Amino acid sequence: MDNFYLGIDVGSVSTNIVLIDEKNELIYKKYLRTQGKPIDIIKVGIEEVANKFGENRIQGVGTTGSGRHLASIILGADEVKNEITSHAVASLNVRPDVKTIIEIGGQDSKIIIIRDGIVVDFAMNTVCAAGTGSFLDRQALRLGVDISEFGDLALMSDNTVRIAGRCAVFAESDMIHKQQLGHNQKDIIKGLCQALVRNYLSNVGKGKDIKPPIMFQGGVAANKGIRKAFENELGEEIIVPENFDVMGAIGAAILGKEKSKSQGYTNFKGLDIYKKDYNVKGFECEGCSNLCEVLEIKENENTLARYGDKCGKWSF
Amino acid sequence: MKITFPHLGNVYIAGKAFLEELGHEVVPPPTCSRRTLEIGIKNSPEMMCLPFKVFIGNYIESIEKGADTILITGSCGPCRFGLYSLMQRDIIRNMGYDVNFIVLDSFKEGFKDFKDNIAKIIGSASLVKFTKSVKLAMKLIKMTDDLTQLSNEVRAYAINKKEVNMIMDKFYEKAVLTYGAKELIDLIKSIEEELRNVKIDKYIKPLKIGIIGEIYTIIEPFVNQEVERKLGELNVLVDKSLTPTKWFDHHVLSYPFGSKYENTKFKLAKPYIEDMVGGHGRETVGSAIYYKNIGYDGVIQILPLNCMPEIVAKSVLKSVARDLNFPIMTLVVDEMTGEAGFNTRLEAFTDLISKRKEGSRIKIG
């Protein structure tokens, strides 16, 4: 029977779980909303894997995303990797000649520049959420459009409305203004897609050497309107990989596989973890004026980990 | 007169001993913490640069501990640091604190002020004693800088990185409790001994990264999110382009010609920046090239949000990175900086350079 490798990407908006086989082919994928409860969602995901595949054939685990350390504590990961490396690994697995990766997720966006299969430069958005998935979600809601139809509607428009995309707050008020002027919905949606792309290219993509092949991934890549806007703006074909929504998790799984092979064993704690109770307790350490927020994770009665302190008094 | 001064990396350790040698009572500011920053943010103009806010926090926290005199250096360098002393004096006075400010400007800005201020610091000590103390202070600054750098080197190779952090924490904790130079020198020596005894893995081949950028954010660990420790924990050997030692060497000891090290940077930066662009903008560009020349694997530029000289350097560094094929990453810090994003970037950057190194090795081989 084949061995599987598990990859988990715990992001701010979604938690993605994938299983790959020895040839890095995707066997299973699950896209879950994190909803601010990463531990519960990881348990839900693992329970589904357990029900679907029965026995444990997982020989390696990799985690990524902003919740990668938490996921690693609970699952027992072989490799804990940042999102940049994970996304790059997954893209190179699909297209070994990829030169640029555009990744737009729920709350962050990144650009990764690759030459000869090696990451040579990258950038992530900082505090601004304009141009990310959450922003689009919100605007779709305001326009009364389902987010899944958003892209198709944009493609139907042949007359763009220019919307100020510099800042999420201004974009929203500008959009309302255009609505009040009587512009039709699909033109506004197309304008919004273009505003997002302009914002991305002048923020995250500023000064980066964007060369084809360009790959577009992350949840927002589902949006055809955005993809089209990128193609217009860059004048190049944009490739959206088949599993664009779980690329980070696939990358983590590949890295987990490599690590477990090189070390000869896996740290994975098994599929039963969903049956266990995890408690997270936070407290403010008053040892000094830093007032670090220390978090403690307990599995049933055993303390698994403590972290969050600057001095190392609590963490292990 | 109970003197205090703002934090500037580890300068407080030598600064305290120096002033104590001159017979002053010193109230060193408490270690920068979230509270320091909160006080600073609340009482500073919002768009002012981050060091300004931390300084304000330092003053207030020292005043709470009994300080009545604040000692800072002035500057007429074309960057907002030149405004610090005047604005901060007004802010502190408007907050209702009655404290003295001693602003050490270069004597070029008026010899009388310079003389008066130096006289205040000399106090009742003789000029001979003062000269001796200045020399001693330089020695102490160099010793603390060397100790910090030793900890960086040991951390890169250490099996248990936390051990190094704990030794250094102990040093900082004890340093404020010492009195005068002798006690401090003894402490530094014992800490050095401890660092040299940390178990290391000599098979670790650390990546070498230079930290460049704005001086305050480079040397103040609270502000740069302990970047030296974080990189050390990733098996990276860190070196800082600017340290208090290097600064004094250039601006005071080698005055007016400047130190050889800094002059080298100016020469290296010349194809990109010919003149001073304020602050340490030109040095930053020179440092990047310097680190490339001595075989480093990459550099990280750190600057406080909206620091003008460093923004100039940042845009120039893009060309430097391209021309020299050298990895350069810029990190901007301010009070909103999230730690998670910061760590992710550091990790991704070290991944990037280690992969690049492997890649180039494969091609050569």
∠ CA(B51), CA(B55), CA(B345), 5° rounding? Answer: 35
The DSSP symbol for B253 reads I
> How confident is the model at residue B363, as a pLDDT?
44
The third-level CATH classification (topology) of the domain covering A96-240 is Nucleotidyltransferase; domain 5 (3.30.420)
Mean per-residue pLDDT, B58-66: 95
The residue segments making up the domain with residue B82 are 2-134
Contacts of A209 in chain B (CB under 8 A): 322
Q: What is the DSSP string of B159-170?
A: SSHHHHHHHHHH
Q: Which of A9, A85, A286 should be substituted to probe chain B, the one whose Cβ sees the most B Cβ atoms within 10 Å?
A: A85
**Which of A121, A291, A312 is the closest to B165 by Cβ?**
A312
Q: What is the count of structural domains for chain B?
A: 2
% pLDDT > 90, chain B: 52
The amino acid that residue B330 corresponds to is T
Q: Among A38-52, A76-90, B111-125, B217-231, whose mean pLDDT is lowest?
A: B111-125
The Cα-based distances of A309 to A65, A284, B165, B204, B297 in angstroms read 21, 9, 13, 27, 30
| Of A10 and B109, the one with more pLDDT | A10
Contacts of A119 in chain B (CB under 8 A): 348, 351-352, 355-356
Which ranges in chain A are annotated with CATH 3.30.420.40?
4-88+248-275, 96-240
Would the pTM of this model clear 0.90, i.e. be above it?
no
Residues B224 and B360 in one domain: yes
Per-residue tokens: B286: 């020179």
Contact present, B297 and B353 (Cβ < 8 Å) = yes
Contacts of B166 in chain A (CB under 8 A): 312
Single out the residue in B118, B134, B150 at which a domain terminates: B134
CA distance linking residue A63 with residue A275, whole number of Å: 20
Residue ranges of E strands in chain B: 2-4, 25-26, 69-73, 100-104, 207-213, 236-240, 298-304, 328-333
CA distance linking residue B243 with residue B218, whole number of Å: 8
Residues B119 and B213 in one domain: no
Single out the residue in B134, B169, B184 at which a domain terminates: B134
Residues B130 and B215 in one domain: no
Q: Tens-digit pLDDT profile for chain A (316 aa)? A: 678 899 999 987 889 999 999 998 998 999 888 888 888 888 888 888 888 887 778 889 999 988 898 889 888 889 999 999 999 999 999 999 999 999 998 778 899 999 888 888 898 876 566 667 888 888 888 888 888 888 888 888 888 888 876 677 777 888 888 888 888 888 888 888 888 888 888 888 888 889 999 999 988 898 899 999 999 999 999 999 999 989 999 999 999 999 998 888 888 888 888 888 888 888 888 877 667 788 888 887 788 888 777 777 777 7
Single out the residue in B116, B134, B152 at which a domain terminates: B134
Examine residue B341 and state whether it is found in any structural domain, yes or no: yes
Examine residue B10 and state whether it is found in any structural domain, yes or no: yes
Q: Kindly report the nearest CA distance between residue A225 and chain B, in angstroms.
A: 29
> How confident is the model at residue B364, as a pLDDT?
40
The Cα-based distances of B204 to B237, B347, B351 in angstroms read 11, 17, 15
Most confident region among B39-48, B114-123, B252-261 by mean pLDDT? B39-48
Compute chain A's Rg from CA coordinates.
21
Phi-psi region of A234 (alpha: psi -120 to 50; beta: other; left: phi over 0): alpha
31-60 in B: which are within 8 Å (CB) of A?
A: 31, 33-36
CATH number at residue B362: 3.40.50.11900
CA distance linking residue A216 with residue A220, whole number of Å: 9
Judging by DSSP bridges, how do beta strands A238-239 and A214-217 pair with one another? parallel
Examine residue B196 and state whether it is found in any structural domain, yes or no: no
Q: How many CB pairs under 8 A join A and B?
A: 67
Examine residue B186 and state whether it is found in any structural domain, yes or no: no
Examine residue B167 and state whether it is found in any structural domain, yes or no: no
Mean per-residue pLDDT, B152-164: 92
Contacts of B340 in chain A (CB under 8 A): 66
Report helix, strand or coil for A126.
Answer: coil
Class of domain A4-88+248-275: alpha beta
CATH number at residue B34: 3.40.50
Examine residue B155 and state whether it is found in any structural domain, yes or no: no
Mean per-residue pLDDT, B88-96: 94
Q: Among A175-189, B150-164, B235-249, B351-365, whose mean pLDDT is lowest?
A: B351-365
